[in-house]
Amino acid sequence: MSRGILLQYCNNRRCSMNPSRSPYRQLLWILPLTVAGAVIALLLYVILTPGLSLDYEGTLLMGGAVLLAILIAGTFFIRTRETGLQKQRAGALLMGGLLMGYALVLLIFLFFGGVRRYGGNGGWATPLALRANFIPFHTIGSYLSAWANDTINQNIVVENLLGNLFLFAPVGAALPCLFHRQRRFWIFLFTMLAILLLVEGVQLFTGTGSCDVDDVILNLAGALLAYGMVAIPPVKRLLQKCYLAQP
């Protein structure tokens, strides 16, 4: 057997014994990714079909299933990569997939009967004074005052204030992990403000929810908290070790 043939045989043998190239290992990330795609297709079918709708719990459950499936698929996909550079690129794909999946859940919540739609007929049938607030801390102060006077269910206050605080926190964590420029504070701040103002503006002019400057304040505060968390050196090193943040 010639030297060239022997080297080719050895290379093929190593490839066949490499578990990262096993077709069975590939299925470990292909199957959950297929599940995520199927759930997303079902979500889109429900929200785009007249007469069908999802309640808060249903949207949360299906959205959680999508994110979990993407996380499982991405984790196994990273494990099947061989070099550090390939793992970093796979980690970026995973973080991007999680961000896109969460963005889909946010769109459903905010524009398709989600967390900020008011009762009654909603939309343009609701007076502007009831679906818009341009006075900073007015809504927050009203909730806290009603809570202090025991004139409102405490769960409503917690859901609205803490819900808005953490609603965009995953976005605040993902952006600096995905994009180096987003690690600059002022660029990140401008990006988040642009996103939040766009959301509030669309809700105001389409009548799909309330437009409240306090929502922007709470959403931005949560995003900044997440931004600060991923910038902490031990957290940053852990994310990089898991290939979820670029070095």
Q: What is the pLDDT of residues 94-128, one digit of tens each?
A: 999 999 999 999 998 888 764 444 444 455 555 56
pLDDT, tens digit, 9 for 90 and up, residues 20-31: 556 677 888 899
8-state DSSP, 77: H
Entry pTM: 0.84
How would residue 200 be classed by pLDDT, with cut points 50, 70 and 90?
very high
Residue 68 CB-half CA count within 13 A: 7
Task: State the pLDDT at residue 17.
Answer: 46
Alpha helices in the chain (DSSP H): 3-17, 23-48, 56-79, 84-111, 128-131, 138-148, 154-167, 169-178, 185-206, 213-231, 233-241
pLDDT tier, 10 (very low <50, low <70, confident <90, very high otherwise): very low
